Amino acid sequence: MKEVRLRFAPSPTGYLHIGGLRTALYNYLFAKHNNGKFILRIEDTDRTRYVEGALENLIESLRWAGIEYDEGVFVENDKIVQKGEYGPYIQSERLNIYQKYVDELIEKGYAYYCFCSKERLDKVREEQKIKGLIPKYDGLCRSLSLEEAREKIANGEEYVVRLKLPPNRDIKFEDLVRGNITINTEDIDDQVLLKSDGYPTYHMAVVVDDHLMGITHIVRGEEWLPSTPKHVYLYEVFGWEKPVYVHLPTVLNKERKKLSKRHGDVAVEDFREKGYLPEGLINYLALVGWSPEDNEEILTMEELIEKFSFERVSKTGGIFDKDKLDWVNGHHIRSYDLDKLTELAIPHLKEANLIDDKFVEERYNWIKTLVETVKESLSNVSEIVDKVDIFFNNQVEPEDEEALSILKQDHVPNLLNAFKQELENIGEVDEEFAKTIMKKIQKGTGIKGKKLFMPTRVALTGNIHGPELVSIIYLLGKQNILNRIKYVEERYL
């Protein structure tokens, strides 16, 4: 059987949109599910949209997300390198290849030179609009002979090359998600294939490259669906076997609009900065427009590869639901390797000035316990800053009236005294002490249950709810607990 080959072919126009990441992911999953190859090709023939550094950013986002490709464009030692037998994989380095195929189309009469000025094209479009027609090129330059056209070129006239579509012909292709699609050439424009700057348009380059690179399946966003008949026609006139098409539903927000920068985070790097795990974001994105047969929702990359198929991709737009992302990501945080999670948490804690390098060096295990203690409540790693606040601030304020009234109970001074006494007997709080202290106080004072635990928690953290008391006592340590008790005694008892 023919080797399955898929590609992700972004234009480096800034950052990687999460919709783009999902497209890359589905390509990757299908390729890996079929033991095929996955390729990263860079489509940079629109020079007006070029953004410095965008390529590196894009490659870094894919690397972070865990989407590995076999061929294409990589960054190694801060340098852009290309690997694979079908290179170059950057379209701006393939101009002579496109030129050759454009020439072939012209020779065979499937394309023609067009000299129409922008002003003329605008005018034609305006007139068509007024008449209620779909604006498209009116075909004026179709009638020029090749000799006439070549003479104009020799005279230095600017030109583009256009596809010469046959009149009134149905172009048919199959899409794995949408089924059979037929579009009549009357509804399609004579697409520009080669621009006046000598660069091909996307439409020309994509067909030539997908063919030469042996791409078997084209998986891309549905915004490209109207372009596909032009591509299919090009495959036909070149005499090339056309690939299988899959057009993915757009990723929408809850208002069913396209996700855009104006409405919040859309760049992969935004999610990374917020402390989403690549495993969580990938897992969630896979579910935006697809679901496995068993409807399982928490999945690793391996499981996604095993379960993925296009039959279960929906035809309608996938909704990006931040709450669901948080839920999925929270699952991954809870089962994450604690050392890795600690490494991810440290920069957030540093940025909030809760710890510094020296602290990390001296008290790494303490930080690890801290992370373990609060990880249950996190939906992304950056939230740790709010959750650990209680461990860094000895000025404990009861969070509300209820918390205050818990402290104001008659038995509380007695309880806190007992706590202080137990602390005075030891050098530092260890795990054993943290585990047994409450029992000891209960024995000594007779205070138990809610009356024992609630005031202790409020005295140590100000809050009525929170992490395990044992962890709180262990993490705070002797001096902090003494300071807190003193602070509370002076102000609230």
Residues belonging to the active site: 261
d(C-alpha 381, C-alpha 9), whole Å: 31
Q: Please report which helix (H) or strand (E) contains residue 248, including its range.
A: strand 244-248
Assess 19 for contact with ligand GLU (CB under 6 A).
Answer: no
Contact string (CB under 6 A) for ligand GLU, positions 181-220, x = contact: ---------------------x---x-------------x
Contact string (CB under 6 A) for ligand GLU, positions 273-302, x = contact: ------------------------------
In terms of Cα–Cα distance, which of 172, 230, 180, 176 is closest to 205?
230
192-194 and 217-221 beta bridge pairing: unpaired
191 contacts 163 by C-beta, under 8 angstroms: yes
261 marked ligand binding residue: yes
CB of 238 to ligand GLU, least distance (A): 17
Assess 249 for contact with ligand GLU (CB under 6 A).
Answer: no
Stretch that binds ligand GLU, among 3-11, 71-79, 94-102, 336-344 (CB under 6 A): 3-11
Q: Which residues, in sequence order, are bridge partners of residue 90?
A: 42
- Long-range contact pairs involving 123-132 (C-beta distance under 8 Å, separation at least 24): none
- Closest CB to ligand GLU among residues 94, 375: 94
What angle (nearest 5°) sits at the alpha carbon of residue 226, between those of residues 220 and 227? 70
- Closest CB to ligand GLU among residues 43, 175: 43
CB of 11 to ligand GLU, least distance (A): 4
CB of 293 to ligand GLU, least distance (A): 27
Assess 90 for contact with ligand GLU (CB under 6 A).
Answer: no
- Which of 4, 6, 9, 18 contacts ligand GLU by CB under 6 A? 9
Number of residues that bind ligand GLU (CB under 6 A): 8
Stretch that binds ligand GLU, among 8-16, 151-159, 410-418, 455-463 (CB under 6 A): 8-16
34 burial (CB, 10 Å; 0-12 / 13-18 / 19+) is middle
- Which of 4, 5, 6, 10 contacts ligand GLU by CB under 6 A? 10
- Which of 5, 11, 30, 307 contacts ligand GLU by CB under 6 A? 11
d(C-alpha 446, C-alpha 301), whole Å: 54
Q: Output the six-digit token pair for 7.
A: 């590609």
- Closest CB to ligand GLU among residues 202, 336: 202
Stretch that binds ligand GLU, among 7-15, 375-383, 394-402, 419-427 (CB under 6 A): 7-15
- Which of 36, 43, 268, 458 contacts ligand GLU by CB under 6 A? 43
Residue that the structure tokens 């048919």 belong to: 172
Burial 352-366 (b: 16+ CB within 10 A, else e): eebbeeeeeeeeeeb
d(C-alpha 59, C-alpha 42), whole Å: 10
CB of 68 to ligand GLU, least distance (A): 19
- Closest CB to ligand GLU among residues 194, 206: 206
Stretch that binds ligand GLU, among 5-13, 152-160, 183-191, 397-405 (CB under 6 A): 5-13
147 contacts 112 by C-beta, under 8 angstroms: no
Burial 460-486 (b: 16+ CB within 10 A, else e): bbbbeebbebbbbbbbbbeebbbebbe
d(C-alpha 391, C-alpha 393), whole Å: 6
CA distances 417 to 10, 55, 456, 486, 493, Å, are 66, 63, 11, 10, 12
Assess 50 for contact with ligand GLU (CB under 6 A).
Answer: no
Q: Please report which helix (H) or strand (E) contains residue 179, including its range.
A: strand 179-184
Contact footprint for ligand GLU (CB under 6 A): 9-11, 43, 202, 206, 220, 224
Q: Residues marked as binding for ATP?
A: 261
Q: Residues marked as binding?
A: 261
